[in-house]
Amino acid sequence: MSSSAEVVVVGAGLAGLTCARALQSEGVGVRVLEAGDAVGGRIRTDEVDGFLLDRGFQLLNPAYPALRPHVDLDALGLQSFRAGLAIRSERSEPLLVMADPRREPQWIGQTMRSGKLHPAALGALARWAAPALGVDWVLRNDREDVSRGESMDRAGLHGPLRKVVDTFLSGVVLEDDGSTSTAFVHMLTRMFARGKPGLPERGMQALPEQLAAGLDTPVELGTEVVSVGPGRVETAGGEQITADLVVVATGAEAAAALTNRPTSPGKGITTHWYAVDEAPTDLALLVIDQRTAPGPVINTAVLSNAAPSYAPPGRHLVEASSLLRPGQEPVTDAEVAAQLAGIYGVPTDGWQLLRRDDIPYALPAQPAPLLVREALEVEPGLIMAGDHLDTGSIQGAMVSGQRAAEGYLHRRTGGMARQG
Ligand SMILES: Cc1cc2nc3c(=O)[nH]c(=O)nc-3n(C[C@H](O)[C@H](O)[C@H](O)COP(=O)(O)OP(=O)(O)OC[C@H]3O[C@@H](n4cnc5c(N)ncnc54)[C@H](O)[C@@H]3O)c2cc1C
C-alpha cells in the first residue's frame, strides 16, 4: 500500500507532538505515526489499584518556556511541590527542611538552622548559579562549558551544601559522578528558580495527551516505522509513505537504528512505588538522604502530599528513585525498603509495593560541552528531533520539535516566495 503526506512525523513523544502542532498551525498536512499504544513516549501514566503511577518518577516544571505556546497549564491542574528539600541526616530527626526563603518563608528558621548554610558556601553557590540567573541567560553553543563537578569546584562550592546540591542534582540528571554539562544544569537551575515543579491532576501523561488532542488528525497508534529515507517512510504493516519531509522523533536509540547514525548513550532510573495507609511525613517536598553511605535511593517523596489525585482517598503514594547504571544490576526491593525505613524513621515492611519501573534509558547522557544542535538534518527531506538533540528534559524535547518544524516552515516559505 502506498500513500503520501506533506510531512510524516515518526514518534508521538513530546518532540514529535510539538513538531506536528507547530506544522499544523501553519497549515502543513502532517501524519504522526506512533509504535506504542498511546501518545507520550517516556511520559506515560497508568492507573493501578486507584493510584496514578507514572512510568518513572518525573515532574513538570511550569516555567519551561517551550510549554507556553502549546500547553494550557491551567487545564492540567498542576499540583506543585514546595520549593525546597527535606533532608535526612545523621543528626536530624525528624526530617529537616531547607527551602527557598523567598517562596517558602515559613521554613526560614529551619533553613537557617540546617547547619548547611555556612556564609562561604552560600557565596560559592551564588557564584556558581549566577550565570544561570541573569535576565538574558540563554542556552548557547558558543560559551565555555565544563562538567557540573568542575564548575562547582571552580566556584569553591564544597562541604555539606555541596553534598546537598550534588545529591539533589543526581536525581535530576541521573548521574552521581558530576559529569553532566554545566550549561544543561544551569538551564535547570534557572527553571527551578522560576517555577515550582508539579504533577498534573490526571498524571504526567495528561501533558502529551493535551498536545495530541490539539492535532487536526489523530496520531496513528500501533504504527511502527521500520525504515526511513529522505521523503520516505515504511511501516511494519507494509505501508510506503512519500512526503516532502520525514521527522524522526523516536528517541535516541530508535533514531540511531533508523538513520544509521551513532546513538547518544543513556542514563537510567529505577522508581519504586508504594501504597501506604499512613503518610510517613506530611511534607510536600522531595526528600534526600545525607547520612554516610545511606544506600541507593537518590530521592523519595510522599507524592500524594503534593499531588492528592495520585492516591485514592485515605491512602498515600510514596516514590523512591535510584540510579540504574548501564551494565550494573538494578537495586533490590529489600535495599530500597530498608533505606526508606531509615529515612522516614518508620517500619516499611507493611508498605505495599505497587510496582517498580526499571528504565534503562530515561535521559540521554549530556556531558560537557553540551551541543544544542541547530542542524538536525540527516539528509534533505529527513531530519531528527528529540531530547537527545537539545537537553534531556521536557523543555529540550519540545524545543527540538519546535525547531524541526521551524526549519521546514522557513524553507517552505522561502520556496513559495521564490516561486511567487
Ligand atoms: C523516568 C523519567 C524521569 C524524567 N524526569 C524528567 C523531569 O523531571 N523533568 C523533565 O523535564 N524531563 C524529565 N524526563 C525527560 C523527559 O521525559 C524526556 O526528555 C522527554 O519526554 C523525551 O521526549 P521525546 O519526544 O524526545 O522522546 P520519547 O518520549 O522517547 O518519544 C519517542 C516516541 O517515538 C516512538 N517510537 C520509537 N520508535 C518508533 C518507531 N520505529 N516507529 C514509530 N514510533 C516509534 C516511541 O514509542 C515514543 O512514543 C524524564 C524521563 C524519564 C523516563
Q: Please state whether the predicted TM-score (pTM) of the whole model is above 0.85.
A: yes
Atom of ligand 1 nearest to the CA of 172: 8
Residue 56, classed as helix, strand or coil, is coil
Which residue from 394, 400, 402 has its CB within 8 A of the most atoms of ligand 1, so it is best to mutate? 394
CATH code given to domain 50-64+75-106+266-364: 3.90.660.20
Give the integer Cα–Cα distance in Å for 6 and 226: 19
pLDDT per residue as tens, the chain (420 positions): 899 999 999 999 999 999 999 999 999 999 999 999 999 999 999 999 999 999 999 999 999 999 999 999 999 999 999 999 999 998 767 899 999 989 999 998 888 777 777 888 889 999 999 988 887 777 776 778 999 999 999 999 999 999 999 999 999 999 999 999 999 999 999 999 999 999 999 999 999 999 999 999 999 999 999 999 999 999 999 999 999 999 999 999 999 999 998 888 999 999 999 999 999 999 999 999 999 989 999 999 999 999 999 999 999 999 999 999 988 899 999 999 999 999 999 999 999 999 999 999 999 999 998 877 665 777 889 999 999 999 999 999 999 999 999 999 988 877 544 332
58 ligand 1 Cβ < 6 A: yes
Please check whether the two domains, 2-44+205-264+368-419 and 50-64+75-106+266-364, share a CATH topology: no
CA dihedral 375, 380, 386, 390 (to 10 degrees): 0
- Ligand 1, atom 20, lies closest to the CA of 394
Give the integer Cα–Cα distance in Å for 234 and 29: 18
- Ligand 1, atom 14, lies closest to the CA of 393
Q: What topology does CATH give the domain 2-44+205-264+368-419?
A: FAD/NAD(P)-binding domain (3.50.50)
Cell numbers that stand for 336 in this block:
530500597
Domain borders along the chain are 2-44+205-264+368-419, 50-64+75-106+266-364, 116-195
Closest C-alpha to 246, from 106, 384, 94, 122? 384
Closest C-alpha to 219, from 227, 211, 228? 211
